[in-house]
Amino acid sequence: MANQICSKESQKACFNSERLFFRPLTAQDKDLYFSLYTDKQVMRYIGPPFNHEQAQQLFTFTLNNSNSYGDLRLSWTIIEIDSQKSIGILALTWDLTQSNTASIGIMLSPDSQGKGFGLEAQGALIEYGFTQLSLRRIYSQFATSNLANKHIYNELGFVTDINTNNSKTTSNQLTAISCYLEKQAWQHNFIQYIPD
């Protein structure tokens, strides 16, 4: 089973939803990481696809600067339980000015998109952030043309952040929208298991 992949050191950071298992990103995820960051379809709402060298630099940086509590970023590999296939990555990045606030991000392989995994994965991570990491607010920023994310964040209860300029253009020339979710507004239950 997927939870056997979790090392003793990272077991508390592992959890699962109905169809997905989440474990901290490790060096064994290099091929998945590269495939996501270099894929034009995956990157279409994020920015230009990375070349191999750029993907290597970011992967090394991510591994060296995440996945221990106290770091500014925690990253998970998303594994489909039925197939045991790694299908994406998910991350929380802390706000430097507020320790109980983070932003969420997700990347799914093209063959895993359109199956409801984005909603399930982000819902589970939001729940984990609120219940296990003492977060009070979670932000997201996404391209306004990304209708799937717009639907997901509406479904999860996010509200548009009126304190930001929601018509700003990102570095890749996409117009972005910012939204957030407060812990007290959270009304979903996605996680089915967290190891003790």
Domain that holds residue 112: 2-135
Model pLDDT for residues 53-89, shown as the tens digit of each residue: 999 999 998 988 875 555 678 999 999 999 999 999 9
The answer to pTM > 0.75 is yes
Q: How many domains does the chain have?
A: 1
Q: What is the mean pLDDT of the segment spanning 96-122?
A: 94
Instruction: Band the pLDDT of 3: cuts 50, 70, 90.
Output: very low
Average pLDDT taken over every residue of the chain: 88
The pLDDT-based confidence of 24 (bands split at 50, 70, 90) is very high
Flag whether 149 is in a domain. Answer: no
**Quick one: average pLDDT of 29-43?**
97
Within-domain flag for 129: yes
Of 128, 65, 64, the C-alpha closest to 102 is 128
Q: Minimal CA–CA distance to 113: which of 173, 176, 36, 49?
A: 36
pLDDT at 165: 55
Contacts of 141 (CB under 8 A, 6+ apart): 103, 176, 177, 178, 179
> Is residue 173 situated within a structural domain?
no
Terminal-residue alpha carbon distance, the chain: 17
Q: Is 7 a residue whose pLDDT tops 90?
A: no
The CATH number covering residue 113 comes to 3.40.630.30
The reported pLDDT for the residue numbered 70 is: 54
Encoded tokens for 126: 């939001």
Q: Which residue has the tokens 């799937």?
A: 148
